Structure 1
């Protein structure tokens, strides 16, 4: 299995820094609560100094969304949505220990992080690219949508979209759940300083996965020179 960003995406967003973590052996039984609380507290401490709308990490995504023709206050990147919810409610919802950790780390770094069930992705390629318009996206409520032509999506080889509007919303099809054993985590930043933040974030995710599960995570920072991450397909067939 390969993960990459299409050349057109990198050309349109030259400030992109991205990376991945692949891990096996996760489940829903680990107690990640104390670590989730620590990263959430870090995010709350930063929010005490000002709204997430002023964070450089968030502003960079807002500018990108505006360039893509999206209203930034209507469609927010995942990390901004988490921070906004955290500021208003004081906590984040508990979903699954893997998701909870990734959400809390995303909020702490203000960088979008996607956690995908690797067995629900059809190989041999998962690519961040512009939609053709015929791809299928499964919403968390179960409905099927077709991303608009030109929209940035996570598309697999079967034409399934695992995210809409790039970092705005993941698909319910590959959401981490009770049966998940293999995960692919993707972090993406556009702000100045992302080249330092993303590797640190990946290291943090990998350390937390290894501390809570027999995961042996593999990380990779992607760049124009090394644009692809290759990981085992797991022998599961199409997602």
Structure 2
């Protein structure tokens, strides 16, 4: 899966997960996939087909059980409780997407639609960030509460602060995603102009490393064939 790009691999190579996060969930792993030279644009036939497949897969998975009965969802609800979040109020990204699948997944842009579909199909929380808007290395930490998070409230841009102890992705400029994989910020969000992206695939047991890598392979296959890709798995020491 890795076709190393010296100009872009630094974000992957310098990424880190704080020991305090592994203390919460020693089974946590993250697979980072950086892709450069992606063709930007709105949703297309390929991303639409992936979304349709994901919606159908979600309906099948939920035909005889609740969303919370899916093992991967249950694991993330437990992880949220571990750092003080209420999973009923702030749902992990996988659960949020599965709950929307019956009425239709969102259509945003080609890259976002693609990773949302892969998330549902492989039952893994998956986020995407515009690497050109990053400042320094990605790192997963427990927040102090002083960090800034650039988001929207009632359609207007606002700066929020995470709760102390909250698990967040951040860079040198502030928080890029709150509550592990709950909500991404505006500053580094993927757009129709994004050509260089970092994809973050989060895993807890019962998801295996093999299943995690399979999700990443599916994602890479769905990206532009001319993209240069680099990846790295980070797990507890």
Contact 1:203/1:219 (<8 A) preserved: no
What is the TM-score normalised by the length of structure 1? 0.86
Partners of 2:208 and 2:30 lie apart in 1 by 8
Instruction: Pick from 128, 132, 148 the counterpart of residue 140 of structure 2.
Output: 128
In the TM superposition, what is the alpha-carbon distance from 1:40 to its structure 2 partner?
A: 2.9
SS in 1 for 2:35: strand
Partners of 1:4 and 1:199 lie apart in 2 by 19
Matched pairs, number: 219
Partner residue in 2 for 1:228? none
What is the TM-score normalised by the length of structure 2? 0.87
**Structure 1: 5+ residue runs without aligned partners?**
226-239
SS in 2 for 1:217: strand
In the TM superposition, what is the alpha-carbon distance from 1:29 to its structure 2 partner?
A: 4.7
Is 2:120 the counterpart of 1:107? yes
Contact 1:210/1:217 (<8 A) preserved: no
Deviations 1:67-123 (A, max 9, x none): 211111111100100001113x1x111001110010111111221101001111101
Partner residue in 2 for 1:171? 185
**Structure 2: 5+ residue runs without aligned partners?**
1-10
Partner residue in 2 for 1:232? none
Instruction: Pick from 22, 42, 50 the counterpart of residue 34 of structure 2.
Output: 22
Partners of 2:29 and 2:208 lie apart in 1 by 6
Partner residue in 1 for 2:5? none
Instruction: Pick from 176, 180, 205 the counterpart of residue 194 of structure 2.
Output: 180
C-alpha RMSD of matched pairs (Å): 1.6
SS in 2 for 1:153: strand
Partners of 1:133 and 1:86 lie apart in 2 by 33
Partners of 1:58 and 1:194 lie apart in 2 by 15
SS in 1 for 2:99: helix
Partners of 1:22 and 1:57 lie apart in 2 by 24
Deviations 1:38-66 (A, max 9, x none): 23322222122322211000000111111
In the TM superposition, what is the alpha-carbon distance from 1:30 to its structure 2 partner?
A: 6.1
Partners of 1:222 and 1:150 lie apart in 2 by 21
Deviations 1:3-50 (A, max 9, x none): 221121112211112101111122015622223322332222212232
Is 2:223 the counterpart of 1:203? no
